[in-house]
Structure 1
Amino acid sequence: MVEALIYVRNNENTSRVAFVHAYDLVDDIPSELVANAKLVDEAFPDITVDLQLVPLHGGFTPSLVEAVSTKLNVPKNLMFIGTIRAGHELPYDLGDYGVRIFRS
C-alpha cells in the first residue's frame, strides 16, 4: 500500500485512493488489511485512503472491474491492478480488464 501511495503522490493528480481487495471467502481477507489501510491513511494526510472489500462471485472478470469502476465512479483507465495472488491465472487477457498495472 505504501509503495502504491508513493507512486500515486508522485505521478497522479488525485487526493483520493481506493484500495479494492477482491476475495473468494471472507476468511481470505488478510486480518491486518483494515488496520493497514487506516495506518497508511494517517501516514499520507494529503491523500484520502479508502478500502473496499469486494466478493468475487464468479471470479476476477472484466465485468467485476466494470462494477467496481461504476460503484466508485472511477474510470477503468484510472484504476490499477497491483497484485494477483500467486498461483492464480487471470481468466482473461490483461487488456480485457481495461486497467493499468502497478508493479513495485
Structure 2
Amino acid sequence: MDNLRRAVEYVRDNEQTKRIKVVTVVERQSEEPTKLEDDLKVLDDAYPQIDLEFVEMEGTFSPALIHRCSEDWNIPKNLMFIGSHGKNFKYDQASLGGVRLII
C-alpha cells in the first residue's frame, strides 16, 4: 500500500488530474475483493480530493493492452504509470509506449 500511497501523493502534488484509475490485469476476474481493492478504498477515504477508481481486467499485460486502455479511456500513454515489473517481464520499457514507471 505504501507504493500506491506515494503514487497518489505524487499525482496530487505534480499532475493536473485529480482522477486515478488503478488497473490490475488478472487471468480470471474474481467476485471477491482483492487486497489491492481494499487498500484502494482506504486511500480513497484518506485522499478525498483524488477520485480513485479500481479496474480489474481479464487478460494478459502487454503493450497491446496498454494501447487499448489508452484508446478506450482517451488517456495518453505518457500520462499512465505502471508498477515496477519483475526481471522475468518479457517487454522492455520502450515497447510500452511511453508509460512511466513507479519504483
Q: Specify the TM-score bucket, using the shorter chain as the normaliser.
A: 0.7 to 0.9
CA distance in 2, matches of 1:30, 1:64: 23
- CA gap of 1:40–1:3, structure 2 versus 1, over 3 A, is same
Match of 1:68 in 2: 69
Among 44, 49, 69, the alignment partner of 1:46 is 49
Alignment partner, residue 55 of structure 1: 58
The answer as to whether partners of 1:15 and 1:48 remain within 8 angstroms in 2 is yes
Residue 18 of structure 2: aligned partner: 15
Structure 1 residues 30, 94: closer, same or farther in 2, change over 3 A? farther
Q: Secondary structure at the match of 1:25?
A: coil
CA deviation digits over 1:41-71, x for unaligned, max 9?
1111111000111112xx3211011111122
**TM-superposed deviation, 1:30:** 7.3
* 1:101 aligned residue: 101
Task: Specify the alignment match of 2:7 in structure 1.
Answer: 4
Tell me which residue corresponds to 1:32: 35
Task: Say if 2:29 and 2:57, in contact at 8 Å, map to a contact too.
Answer: no
Deviation of residue 24 (structure 1)?
2.3
- When normalised by structure 2's length, the TM-score is 0.82
Mapped to 2, the partners of 1:83 and 1:23 lie a distance apart of: 16
Q: Determine if the alignment matches structure 1 residue 91 to structure 2 residue 83.
A: no
Cα contact 2:29–2:56 (8 A) shared by 1: no
